[in-house]
Amino acid sequence: MDIFKIGNDFDYFDLTFLDEKEVRLFSTFKGQKITLEWKKDIFAISKDKLQKNELLDFDSRCFGSTLILKKKFENQLKKLLPNEIEMFPVRIKDIPEDFIYINVLKVIPAIDFDGLDTQQSLSMIRNKEIKFKLNEISNEILFRDVKINFYYCTQKFIDFIENNQIKGLSFEKVGNAT
C-alpha cells in the first residue's frame, strides 16, 4: 500500500500567516481537539518577486501541519472522514471564498522506526522510503504520525481530491505499508 505526503501544487500562490503568533499556535496542533477561541482571519497570499504566473483559483493548500480547503467541500469531507477531523472557518485576505482549517484527529504510530538509529530514520525519511505499519494504517485515508507531524494519505484520499476536482495540492509518494 503506497503512502503519500500532502503538499502544495506550486502552480498556485502560497499562503502566509497574517500574524507571526499564529505560526507558533498552529505548530502546536498535533491532533488534539482544539478548544481555544477561534478567529477566522488568519491567512494572506504570499507574494514575492520570484513568483511568476501563479494562480489564485486554488481550492486547498497544505504546508507543514496546516491543511485548508474551500468550505464548499466541507460536507463531502465530513462524509469521507466522519469523526476523524475537526473543521474551523478561516479566511484568506483578499480572497472572497470561505475556507476551512482541517484538524486531523487521527494521529497514530504509523511509521515503523523499530530497530533504526537516528541516522537510519533520517535517511529513510529523506530518501522517501518510509516504512509504514500496515496494521496501523490499513483502514486509514488521512492521518498524521505521532512523531512526524505531516499530513499523510492513501490513494483513497487522492481519489477524493481528484473526483471533486480540488485544485492546489500535490501528493508525493514517501513510502509504503507492509
Q: Tell me the pLDDT band of 50, cut-offs 50, 70 and 90.
A: low
- d(Cα 22, Cα 42) in Å, to the nearest integer? 7
Does 58 score more than 60 pLDDT?
yes
Domain extent, residue 30, equals 2-177
Counting the structural domains of the chain, the total is 1
- d(Cα 121, Cα 95) in Å, to the nearest integer? 40
Query: Distance between terminal CA atoms of the chain?
Result: 7
Segment 59-100, tens digit of pLDDT: 999 877 789 999 999 999 999 999 999 998 988 888 889 999
Taking the model in full, what pTM does it have?
A: 0.85
Contacts of residue 9, defined as CB under 8 A and 6 or more positions apart, other chains included, come to 58, 167, 168, 169, 170
pLDDT at 12: 76
Read off the C-alpha cell for 77: 469531507
